[in-house]
Amino acid sequence: MSSEIVSVEDASLEDIYRVEVEAWGDDLSASKSTIEERLETHAEGFIGVKNEDELVGYLYGIRYDHEEVDPRTWEEATDLDLHDPESDQMYITTVGVSENHRGEGYGTKLLQGLEDRATEIGVQEIYLGRRDTDGNKRFYESNGYQEVEKIEGWWPEDGSSEGQGVMMKKQV
């Protein structure tokens, strides 16, 4: 597998949106304008991964002091108004790999790419809220994330895990 981590300058909005839909499907994917707004808010929060020249996965995060706010839903936790460029904590808004490239190590590469970026920009702690599935649990735990708490109603519109989310964090 020939893959490389890329920054936002090396990925077009069209490609990012294609991966968003390939990763999340029509029902759960963010709109192109939401993605655009995220990139305008915090371009450094984007990490992409390419296979040859094709974008096959990306993640995006914003920075804020997690202990100082009380996000009880994914929507609150990913509110762009929370972004504080000075914070040494980052919250992963989304991570996704195109469906036909899963299980090939791209997601792990994205998390590693984020840790490298975090070290460069002064982020010391990374948070995320994951869906409560065995696959996601294995994915994040094998990448060194630890459970903080379970939150009922984290995914109000997603029936697949009865709305329960799991907050995870990692010190970098």
Q: Which residue, 68 or 172, has its beta carbon nearer to ligand COA?
A: 172
Positive/negative CA dihedral, 147, 149, 155, 158: positive
Does 23 contact ligand COA by CB under 6 A?
A: yes
Angle at 88 between CA 86 and CA 90, to 5 degrees: 100
Cβ-contact 106, 124 below 8 angstroms: no
3-state DSSP call for residue 64? Answer: coil
Please give the residues from 87 up to 106 whose contact with ligand COA meets the rule CB under 6 A: 95-97, 102-106
Take residue 65 and report the two structure tokens written for it: 């002091």
User: Does 71 contact ligand COA by CB under 6 A?
Assistant: no
Binding to ligand COA, residues 104-163 (CB under 6 A): 104-108, 130-131, 135-136, 138-139
Residues in contact with ligand COA by the rule CB under 6 A: 23, 95-97, 102-108, 130-131, 135-136, 138-139
